[in-house]
Chain A
Amino acid sequence: MSDKSMIICRCEEVTYEELIETAEKHKCSARELKLRTRAGMGYCGGRTCRNMVESIPRQYLPNKEQLGLVTLKYQPPIRPVHFGDLGGDET
């Protein structure tokens, strides 16, 4: 296994190569990179790969200052919740 097949998003198993190629091709924001590759959209909510997914696009942005500001947002729930726990009591 080389650098390129190194996994960045462990939940969705998105590789470094896929992220770099997508960022290079589309010169996109972190948000777009996430939507295109699913990196950061898995079970952990992107907690693990977030900073890396944010750092990769910065390397390929034409206008670093402007696009560097588009960071990934946080949204609830910040932990997975079971529907049963939200009041859907079966008993």
Chain B
Amino acid sequence: MTNDVIIIGAGPAGLSAAITCAKHGMNVVVIDEYYKPGGRLLGQLYEEPDGSWWNGIKESDKLYNQAINSGVQLKLSVPVINIERQGTEWNVFTNMETLQANNLLVATGAAESPAPVPGWTLPGVMSVGAAQVMTNVQRVKPGEKGIIIGVNVLSAAIAQELKLANISVESMTLPKINSMNHDYAIPKNVVNSLLHVSHLSPSPIIKIGSNLMKYKLINKLALKFYPNKGIKMWDIPIQLKKAVTQIYGTDKVEGVTIANVDDYGQIIPKSEKSIEVDFVCISGGLYPLAELAAIAGCPFYMIEELGGYVPLHNERMETPLSGLFVAGNITGIEGAKVAAAQGTVAGLSIVNNTLNSAFEFELEEAIKQVRIIREENPIQFHPHIQNGRKKMQKYWNEYFANNQESFII
């Protein structure tokens, strides 16, 4: 049987698209390899600027219930291994069966960029997102006392979540510099990125940002006056002048070696000391998880503001491949609200393409909504996200100017 729509990814983008399509009478299947619906929305828990709390589990439940009530078929714990176009249909190969659809939406979200630190393969070292999910979703403490390596919007938000669950966090600090991690190991670069996001971000970063301001300091001076012991955020010292040089332990994490670093991330000799911890979180930021769009044959562009390689797409969430759509973090790293709004656009795009452009107005409105949410969104992973979006639009226009035929069929 050919479905009207298959959606890969049951996060905010995928579920919002599914709800939109199903409400317009389409037959929709959503596939996700995770065992719960919600994607990375599940672990999220942060304070909104108005003081209310964004609870990802509740938001996921809402989307899930709406999807089920609209008649969406959900296949969880099912990994997709390949997608291929045959004739006018998309074939989606899972580990168990092959499904067909006229429209395919790839909403696979993002993954965490690994950030290696010597000793990082020891059990007890995990990505910061892993600790978030273990704490908020599985409700098991990742450990008794940990340290977070990597200071950014994501790790600051998760540090607070660990604290809320009564898990002790020794400090947030930087990784030892190597040739691959200059963006997040050099104190100057880290301060710069924190200052850029501070006016837009939720409480954690606002606090770091405003604390930096308090020390009177814009860009160049900020670091000079930044105290060696760090500035505390909910009792967690944020140490921008220290770096973990080694994670040690025999068969699991027993502690870390931490050293003072200069403005350029170079270790200050003889400043090393050991701190006992039983878990370590590493944060290297997020990148779009686009492998399925890549094997489908979608052109890719490296857009730093969007977090990495992103499949070519337009504001309607169309790709140059006929019947293939993308939405959510696969198109660039942004918050869950933007992802959900993009999902609605993708859903309307699919409906509109199928029903002879009868929903042009609704689609335009939904696209406007994405822009509004993007502007209002307190979580901005990259300060120049708007530029990134503009670049993608430019690539799209160029692509179609150079390729006479419209879509690849």
Q: Are A and B in direct contact (Cβ within 8 Å)?
A: yes
Mark A residues whose CB is within 8 Å of B: 1-3, 5-8, 10, 13, 16, 20, 47-49, 51-52, 55-56, 59, 71, 73-79, 81-82, 85
Q: Which residues of B contact A71 (CB under 8 A)?
A: 309
Q: Which residues of A contact B114 (CB under 8 A)?
A: 48-49, 51-52
Q: Which residues of A contact B176 (CB under 8 A)?
A: 3
The residue from A8, A51, A81 contacting B308, defined by CB atoms under 8 A apart:
A51
Binary A-proximity of B301-336 (CB < 8 A = 1, otherwise 0):
000000011000000000000000000000000000
Is B95 in contact with A85, judged by CB distance below 8 angstroms? yes
Q: Which residues of A contact B116 (CB under 8 A)?
A: 6-8, 16, 52
| Cα of A44 to Cα of B295 in the assembled complex, Å | 16
Is A78 in contact with B80, judged by CB distance below 8 angstroms? yes
Whether a CB of chain A sits under 8 angstroms from the CB of B250 is: no
The residue from A6, A52, A79 contacting B117, defined by CB atoms under 8 A apart:
A6
| Cα of A73 to Cα of B296 in the assembled complex, Å | 12
In the complex, how many angstroms separate the beta carbon of A89 from the nearest chain B beta carbon? 12
Place the interface of chain B in its size category: 20 to 34
Q: Which residues of A contact B81 (CB under 8 A)?
A: 76-79, 81
Q: Which residues of A contact B179 (CB under 8 A)?
A: 20, 55-56, 59
Query: Which 8 pairs from chain A and chain B are nearest by CB?
Result: A76-B82, A77-B81, A74-B294, A6-B118, A79-B79, A74-B291, A79-B81, A1-B118
Q: Which residues of B contact A55 (CB under 8 A)?
A: 179-180
Is B82 in contact with A77, judged by CB distance below 8 angstroms? yes
In the complex, how many angstroms separate the beta carbon of A67 from the nearest chain B beta carbon? 15
Whether a CB of chain A sits under 8 angstroms from the CB of B287 is: yes
Is A81 in contact with B95, judged by CB distance below 8 angstroms? yes
Q: Which residues of A contact B308 (CB under 8 A)?
A: 51
Q: Which residues of B contact A7 (CB under 8 A)?
A: 116, 120-121
Whether a CB of chain A sits under 8 angstroms from the CB of B178 is: yes
Whether a CB of chain A sits under 8 angstroms from the CB of B113 is: yes
Question: Nearest chain-B residue to A6 (Cβ)?
Answer: B118
Is A1 in contact with B119, judged by CB distance below 8 angstroms? yes
A-B contact pairs, 18 of them (CB 8 A): A1-B246, A2-B118, A6-B116, A6-B117, A6-B119, A7-B120, A16-B178, A51-B114, A51-B287, A52-B180, A71-B309, A77-B82, A78-B80, A78-B291, A78-B295, A81-B81, A82-B95, A85-B96
Is B111 in contact with A5, judged by CB distance below 8 angstroms? no
Whether a CB of chain A sits under 8 angstroms from the CB of B254 is: no
Whether a CB of chain A sits under 8 angstroms from the CB of B7 is: no
In the complex, how many angstroms separate the beta carbon of A7 from the nearest chain B beta carbon? 5
In the complex, how many angstroms separate the beta carbon of B89 from the nearest chain A beta carbon? 17
Binary A-proximity of B97-132 (CB < 8 A = 1, otherwise 0):
000000000000001011011111100000000000
Q: Which residues of B contact A5 (CB under 8 A)?
A: 118
In the complex, how many angstroms separate the beta carbon of B84 from the nearest chain A beta carbon? 8
Question: Nearest chain-A residue to B83 (Cβ)?
Answer: A76
Q: Which residues of A contact B113 (CB under 8 A)?
A: 51
| Cα of A81 to Cα of B33 in the assembled complex, Å | 13
| Cα of A10 to Cα of B292 in the assembled complex, Å | 22
The residue from A56, A73, A79 contacting B180, defined by CB atoms under 8 A apart:
A56
| Cα of A75 to Cα of B309 in the assembled complex, Å | 16
Question: Nearest chain-B residue to A59 (Cβ)?
Answer: B179
